[in-house]
C-alpha cells in the first residue's frame, strides 16, 4: 500500500479519513468528516470541507474550496453532504457547496469531470460524468447537469434548470430554462466596432497624421457600404503610404474567424 504524503504545514481534521497514496500539500485543509479515496491530491492551499465523501484520484488545485457550506439563507448548520465520484479535477478557485435540508441534503458529482478555474457548483446540484465546466461557469442551487455536457465560460445556470446529456452551452450564455440533450445553445452576440481607439493611440504617442490615416481606414471598413474585400482594396489605393493601415490590412486578411465590424 502506497504511503500518504502529508506536508508538515497541512491541516488534517481528526475525523478525516484518507486513502492510500493521498497527497496533501502545504497549507491545504482537510476538514471534519471528510473521506478522500486512494490517490487523491490536494495541492497547496486547497480546501475540502465536510461532511464529504470523495472517491479515488480526485485532484484539488490551489485555493479551490470543495464541500463548503451552502450559500443559502435558510441554512442553519444542519448536516448536509457532498458526494464526489472518481477522477475529477477541481482547478484553482473552484467552489462546490454541500446540500441543504430542503433540497435533500446532498450535492453530488459523478466521475471524470473537469472544473476549470472559478467555476461553481451550488447546493443540492447534481453533476453526472465527464462534464466540462469552463472558467467561471456557475450553477445555482438545485441544478442538474447530465453526462458529457459542457457549460461554457462565464455562463450562469438558473436554479432548478437541467442541462441534458451531450449538450453544449456557449460562453457567456444565461440559462434560465432546461437545455435539451444533444443541443447547442448560445446567447446571441451583437459585438460591434465603434471605430478607432483615438484616446489610447494619443496616449501612446501616435501623432495626428497617423491617427487620421487610421480613422479614414476605419470609415471605409465599418461606415461605408463597401464589403470587407472592397474596403481593403480602397485602403490600398488611397492610404498605401501608412504603415499603420498596412498593418490593419494584414491583420484583416489573416483573420481565420472573421473580424468585429
Taking the C-alpha atoms of residue 196 and residue 183, their distance in angstroms, rounded to an integer, is 38
Whether omega for the bond prior to residue 51 falls within 30 degrees of 0, making it cis, is yes
Torsion of the alpha carbons at 98, 151, 134 and 137, rounded to the nearest 10: -50
- Is 65 within 8 Å of 90 (Cβ atoms)? no
CA atoms within 13 Å, Cβ hemisphere of 130: 6
Would you say the C-alpha torsion 72, 16, 29, 63 has a positive or negative sign? negative
Which strands, in side-by-side order, build the sheet including 81-84?
17-18, 34-36, 52-54, 81-84, 106-109, 126-127, 144-145, 162-163
Active-site annotation holds for 141: yes
**Residue of 124, 128, 136, 142 marked catalytic:** 124
Our answer to whether residue 244 is catalytic in this structure is: no
**Torsion sign over Cα 39, 24, 83, 35:** positive
Q: Catalytic one among 123, 128, 142, 152?
A: 123
Which residue among 55, 68, 141, 152 is the active-site one? 141
Burial bucket for residue 120 (CB in 10 Å: 0-12, 13-18, 19+): buried
69 is catalytic: no
Q: Which residue has the cell 448548520?
A: 77
Q: Report the catalytic residues.
A: 123-124, 141
Amino acid at each position: 500500500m502506497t504511503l500518504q504524503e502529508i506536508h508538515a504545514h497541512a491541516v488534517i481534521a481528526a475525523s478525516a479519513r484518507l486513502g492510500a497514496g493521498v497527497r496533501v500539500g502545504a497549507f491545504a485543509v482537510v476538514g471534519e468528516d471528510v473521506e478522500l479515496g486512494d490517490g487523491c491530491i490536494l495541492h497547496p492551499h486547497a480546501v475540502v470541507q465536510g461532511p464529504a465523501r470523495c472517491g479515488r484520484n480526485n485532484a484539488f488545485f490551489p485555493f479551490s474550496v470543495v464541500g463548503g457550506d451552502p450559500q443559502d439563507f435558510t441554512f442553519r448548520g444542519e448536516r448536509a453532504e457532498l458526494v464526489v465520484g472518481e477522477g475529477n479535477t477541481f482547478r484553482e478557485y473552484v467552489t462546490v457547496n454541500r446540500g441543504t435540508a430542503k433540497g435533500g441534503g446532498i450535492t453530488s458529482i459523478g466521475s471524470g469531470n473537469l472544473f476549470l478555474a472559478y467555476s461553481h457548483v451550488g447546493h443540492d446540484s447534481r453533476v453526472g460524468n465527464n462534464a466540462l465546466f469552463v472558467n467561471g461557469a456557475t450553477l445555482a442551487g438545485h441544478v442538474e447537469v447530465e453526462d458529457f455536457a459542457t457549460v461554457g465560460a462565464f455562463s450562469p445556470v438558473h436554479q432548478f434548470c437541467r442541462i441534458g446529456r451531450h449538450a453544449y452551452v456557449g460562453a457567456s450564455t444565461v440559462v434560465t430554462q432546461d437545455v435539451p440533450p444533444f443541443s447547442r445553445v448560445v446567447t446571441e452576440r451583437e459585438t460591434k466596432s465603434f471605430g478607432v481607439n483615438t484616446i489610447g493611440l494619443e496616449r501612446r504617442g501616435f501623432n495626428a497624421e497617423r491617427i487620421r490615416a487610421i480613422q479614414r481606414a476605419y470609415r471605409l471598413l465599418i461606415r461605408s457600404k463597401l464589403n470587407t474585400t472592397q474596403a481593403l482594396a480602397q485602403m490600398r489605393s488611397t492610404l498605401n503610404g501608412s504603415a499603420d493601415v498596412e498593418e490593419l490590412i494584414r491583420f484583416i486578411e489573416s483573420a481565420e474567424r472573421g473580424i468585429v465590424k
